[in-house]
Chain A
């Protein structure tokens, strides 16, 4: 009964008059909206009409396909006298043409042609096509139908026109055969990455990759006329999970932040940005999921850099999160600016749907909050409207109630062709790009270290597609390869320079005197072939790239950039079981020591080999020590979680245990099959921020702590016990990282662990770690605390 009543209310709500129109008709009785467009210099528009659906809640979802109840097509509509009737540009679903779904499009600079991404019925992937606005083939004059630009067993989506007859698009194809594209660890989609191609299908080029998706690009022109590809970048590193706006050059170099980070944001994700002028860009602000890729319209004022960027919400009543919206408020799918003669925004040409526009409500049933949505409201119905942002009134233009009418754009009018700046390049060893900074102590951001930075650690990321069956361990961190550590030169400047693998995602850490990360960049970035990313980019003032300095003026380049290049096929150590990881750590810390000249280079740190070997050799897990028994050296916890109906689950007890035996940690089944030492070190990291979970110390005087904090050796209790020694600028074993710092029991951390005063200490069985052994654990923590690397990945051939 209750379900029926709620459904009735919802249905009634959705049927309230909001200006929605009947099927395939102009969405109103008058032409006010068309008049506004006409006055804004838009004589004709085109938009995509595609079937309604409920399967695109996630803003990074780009493969949702439907041709039910009819094919998608691109429609055009005149705004001037005689306008209001929509006619199809594309032929899908008519004559011999199969039905298709169309997911995105762009209009050429002369306004006469459209590039779009479509998947035809019976096929598996979205391809890129071009078509003239009169419906003819650009490559076969006079013949009706589109020209195929790019295809393959991959999705090619979000095409955008570039200068010089090129097209930018996103694809899940990789540049090399036999190399699988990254999958996002979280939503498991094959990631969409940047590529460009000649508009006739030749000269395919792949851009530097993010470890997660890039979607919804557009070409904008900065104030100085430089063309930039503005797009949504899924920033997803460990706990970070945001869709922020970034820019890159048309040649896919020079990736830089644009909006959303540095505290400038107003929502979790921003997408489908457009451009009003050189300073203002409208975009959709919303949650990452459940909102049908729709949300509030915001206007971004670019500022000099991302930190000074700001946004005004033009539709203040629209939720910025994933909660259902409201009657007559709804959500907006896109925002195409309409300007006056002075180039100022007057209206927004947009797609809007009334009601909740939220996937829970669309499907019906019981929401997570316990709200009964009955049989469901069905998918939202996006139609074309003109929004007056000053009054928040909408003027209807077009709506087909069976379809989503989305992504309207002006056609048949020219727009300026921006310049196509190329990224700076440098002479680099094969397969590498150059990164660096003139002064690592200079920053526009708060909290940067003002002194004491001695190295920059460069870490490459990879996803589970490379043969990791499960997660990388009890951590949210992705796969990590240590590319190396570039020295910071303190001789006239504070510079560093390093050659790094091109086109692969990396992130950086500055290292203190003990080799611990003092700042961890929790965003991936990458550089193109031979690109020089030596300053001039992410946090510079916008348009300042032309002033990027010559790296040659830095002391670091004068001494020679550190070569951290690593061929793709060499990323896995050939025989990790036989490798001497301690010698490798020594070589890393003391590169000039001839004793370690023959040691291999560290790549990944396989927990069961590299770290467990040290634990076992030092006797850490022997009987009476960290052997999992309830003794003085092993804190224990009892873990429970709240159950429905006020019940509590059976408690599970875990005691600190550094043995290497792999076990199934059964509480909540959250950990998988890892060694006791890994579970012990990362247990608290896995528990952090979970609701309804209670962790109780069996002995409050000996609390269970976060022994390894992913990506922060400095915050890891294990590292505090180990007492790292100063290694930079010179090794001084008497200078300890945590001398004077207090343990949980109020006593200071000892100079070494274990020592004669350590309970259970047996000089014949136990010893403190060496400098290099400590460094291994520092690197392991700072890289993310992974159990798996390529070296012990079950899916890497030859590993058993």
Chain B
């Protein structure tokens, strides 16, 4: 090897090691640069983007009074603003106080506040919230939206211990809760099993079926092939639902689904369902 070749060949890794510390123009430092006034002004715009980006920039700003600015945003009309507020508060010592307030909301009667509380706890991400969320899921005094938000938060937290919470929620009389639980199941870290989802593939509510199909595919529940074939072949279901079932069959990869998928490709009335089945066929073993 010549010296020239050697030098050239080695540049990439030593370049990596150097770290390219040179500053570029307008370098944005993550989580820095905001102030109390800039947050207040951003909130005054009412613009989601402005609020979100300014609160992001105040990630590490040591500003106790800013809590009074940000905390009300957890009840903002815009979900993105609620989320960034929860994120900001979740990184601060006031978090535990707010967590306790959210627990109280979940056991209260104001369903909108309970919904927002569930979102905050989901964003905080601490598994300690699983129990109060589980109680809220089954609290008939709360609205469906709040109870579903609680199930969503369990998925958001993603802790494996939440799997059992969601499986219990899948038996709820509320379709919204069952739907959220089915969706949350694929968010659980380490979840490689979805037997509890299979019953939801025959749910009366099609939105539940749709989410269950996606989760069966996402967690690779291999015993779900026959149920998914039932769904993809059910012409009474919407194209969206059948499409999701076709995708899930492709994700499972079981060759036993081949005939059913071929039948869909050849005869389904909807072009997108045919497309999903065609793509799924290309993924079977």
Contacts and interface: CB of A to CB of B under 8 A. Distances in A.
Bound pair (A, B) = yes
B17 A519 contact: yes
Interface stretch (B103-111, B169-177, B184-192, B196-204): B184-192
B48 A54 contact: yes
Contact of A544 (B8, B37, B271): B8
A458 to B, nearest CB: 11
Contact of B25 (A147, A268, A359, A673): A268
Contacts of A535: 9-13
B140 interface: no
B282 A360 contact: no
B113 interface: no
B29 A368 contact: no
Contact of A442 (B6, B29, B243): B6
A533 B10 CA distance: 10
A468 B161 contact: no
Given A137-B271, A201-B280, A368-B38, A508 B17 contact: yes
B35 interface: yes
Contacts of B9: 438, 535-536, 540, 544, 547-549
A263 interface: yes
Contacts of B262: none
Contacts of A580: none
B84 interface: yes
Contacts of A261: 20, 22, 24
A485 interface: no
Contacts of A262: 20, 22
Contacts of B161: 797
Which of A143, A436, A668 counts the most chain B CB atoms within 10 A? A668
Nearest to A437: B13
Contact of B37 (A533, A536, A644): A644
B26 A268 contact: yes
A520 B89 CA distance: 31
Given A668-B64, A794-B128, A444 B11 contact: yes
A233 to B, nearest CB: 12
B35 A692 contact: yes
A179 interface: yes
Given A263-B22, A469-B125, A186 B59 contact: yes
A217 interface: no
Interface stretch (A34-42, A282-290, A725-733, A766-774): A282-290
Given A519-B17, A521-B16, A795-B159, A672 B92 contact: yes
Contacts of A137: 271, 275
Interface stretch (B131-139, B214-222, B224-232): B214-222
Interface residues of A, number: 145
Is the contact region of chain A dominated by helix, strand, or loop, or is it mixed?
loop
A643 B65 contact: yes
A15 interface: no
B66 to A, nearest CB: 8
A454 B214 CA distance: 50
A363 B92 CA distance: 29
A476 interface: yes
A201 B282 contact: yes
Contacts of A69: none
B154 to A, nearest CB: 12
B61 A649 contact: no
A539 interface: yes
Interface stretch (A21-29, A459-467, A697-705, A778-786): A459-467
A363 B50 contact: yes
Interface in B63-78: 63-67
B50 A359 contact: yes
B192 to A, nearest CB: 5
A369 B189 contact: no
Given A256-B12, A469-B126, A540-B9, A673 B20 contact: no
Contacts of B158: 180, 465, 467, 795
B47 A690 contact: no
Nearest to B214: A153
A265 interface: yes
B15 interface: yes
Interface in B43-89: 44-50, 52-54, 56, 59-67, 80, 83-84, 87
A456 interface: yes
Interface in A255-291: 256-257, 260-268, 287-290
A660 interface: no
Interface string A645-669: 0000110000000000000111111
B126 to A, nearest CB: 4
A664 B21 contact: no
Given A363-B49, A467-B127, A533-B12, 16 more contacts: A122-B240, A147-B278, A153-B217, A201-B283, A290-B50, A305-B15, A320-B26, A368-B50, A439-B10, A440-B10, A470-B91, A509-B17, A519-B19, A521-B19, A522-B19, A643-B65
15 contacts: A147-B275, A148-B272, A177-B220, A185-B30, A203-B282, A360-B47, A437-B10, A522-B19, A525-B16, A535-B10, A538-B12, A541-B11, A692-B63, A794-B127, A794-B128
Q: List 5 tightest A-B contacts by C-beta distance, closest first.
A: A201-B279, A363-B47, A202-B282, A668-B62, A539-B15
